[in-house]
């Protein structure tokens, strides 16, 4: 009798586990808000803290623009595919400066570990195809709720020295995230780059029964990989206006 009860309990546990696995979300769309501290970015671009031109531009900028630029974006996901689509609204002033529009449409194949991103620099549309960027993640034990999901904190390092803070949820078991961030055992719902003064945070998660429509890689633009892209934009560093193109911000795109 005891053996029979044990067997039944094990079967029930297996069935419950299987039911949980089959009901875990695989398709959906996440609304993100990207917040950029533009005042801090502009300050970093100044040649020196006492640069007269820089101080004038900072004062002029503050007269017309808020400190934080908040813009929406959508991350669609279906199985192992994700598509991040920004919806940046340009500033009323200085909106043609690339640093204020440092965003891209990013398609990721998490199984093949490949990514395709489309971005515009000045008047150029660039289509970058490469492998997914590797991040050295380390869990911290901190938890918080984001968009109704319990999330765990992970600290990471990219490009050898750029610090990243992310919060991911196991409730959406897809190792994706906003922009080009991925590699954790669950969907990333918040990520911060302190160096670049930018944060992405999920505000809404919508789940679907089927793969979202339009989940495909962008295909328009001049094709290049990461190394070719870096070499391509080096010419912007020679621009006579140091405020218009800052190579150190253009090299690392989100």
Q: Is the pLDDT of residue 178 over 80?
A: yes
Give, for 247, the enclosing helix (H) or strand (E).
helix 247-251
Ramachandran angles phi, psi of 103, nearest 5°: -150, 165
- Token digits for 112? 């093949």
Measure CA of the first residue to CA of the last residue in the chain; give whole Å: 61
Tens of pLDDT, residues 95-131: 445 555 557 899 999 999 999 999 887 678 899 999 9
DSSP 171: T
Sequence ranges of the domains in the chain = 2-251
- Token digits for 229? 């892209």
Which burial class, exposed, middle or buried, applies to 16 when counting CB atoms under 10 A from its CB (0-12, 13-18, 19+)?
exposed
Give, for 159, the enclosing helix (H) or strand (E).
none
Secondary-structure breakdown of the chain: helix, strand, coil percentages, each rounded to the nearest 5: 25, 40, 35
Tens of pLDDT, residues 5-29: 444 443 343 343 334 444 678 999 9
The whole-angstrom separation of Cα 43 and Cα 205 is: 35
Tens of pLDDT, residues 46-74: 767 677 877 887 888 888 888 888 889 99
What number of helices (H) and strands (E) belong to the chain? 5, 12
Amino acid 82: pLDDT: 98
Ramachandran angles phi, psi of 128, nearest 5°: -105, 120
CA angle 97, 99, 103 (to 5 degrees): 115
Region 122-150 average pLDDT: 93
Residues contacting residue 160 through CB under 8 Å, at least 6 positions apart: none
DSSP 48: S
């Amino acid at each position: 009798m005891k053996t029979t009860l044990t067997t039944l309990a094990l079967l029930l546990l297996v069935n419950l586990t299987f039911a949980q696995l089959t009901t875990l979300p695989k398709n959906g769309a996440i609304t993100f808000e990207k917040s950029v501290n533009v005042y801090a970015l502009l300050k970093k671009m100044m040649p020196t803290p006492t640069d007269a031109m820089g101080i004038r531009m900072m004062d002029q900028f503050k007269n017309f623009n808020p400190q934080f630029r908040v813009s929406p974006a959508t991350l669609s996901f279906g199985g192992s595919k994700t598509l991040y689509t920004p919806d940046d609204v340009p500033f009323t002033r200085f909106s043609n400066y690339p640093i204020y529009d440092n965003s891209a449409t990013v398609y990721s194949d998490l199984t093949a570990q490949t990514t395709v991103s489309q971005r515009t620099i000045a008047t150029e549309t660039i289509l970058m195809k490469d492998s997914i960027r590797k991040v050295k993640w380390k869990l911290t034990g901190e938890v918080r709720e984001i968009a109704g999901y319990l999330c765990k904190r992970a600290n990471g390092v990219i490009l050898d020295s750029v610090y990243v803070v992310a919060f991911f949820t196991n409730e959406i078991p897809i190792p994706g995230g906003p922009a080009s961030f991925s590699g954790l055992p669950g969907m990333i719902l918040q990520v911060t780059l302190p160096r670049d003064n930018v944060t992405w945070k999920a505000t809404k998660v919508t789940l679907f029964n089927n793969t979202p429509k339009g989940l495909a890689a962008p295909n328009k633009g001049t094709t290049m990989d990461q190394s070719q892209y870096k070499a391509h934009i080096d010419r912007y560093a020679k621009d006579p206006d140091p405020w218009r193109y800052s190579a150190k911000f253009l090299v690392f795109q989100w």
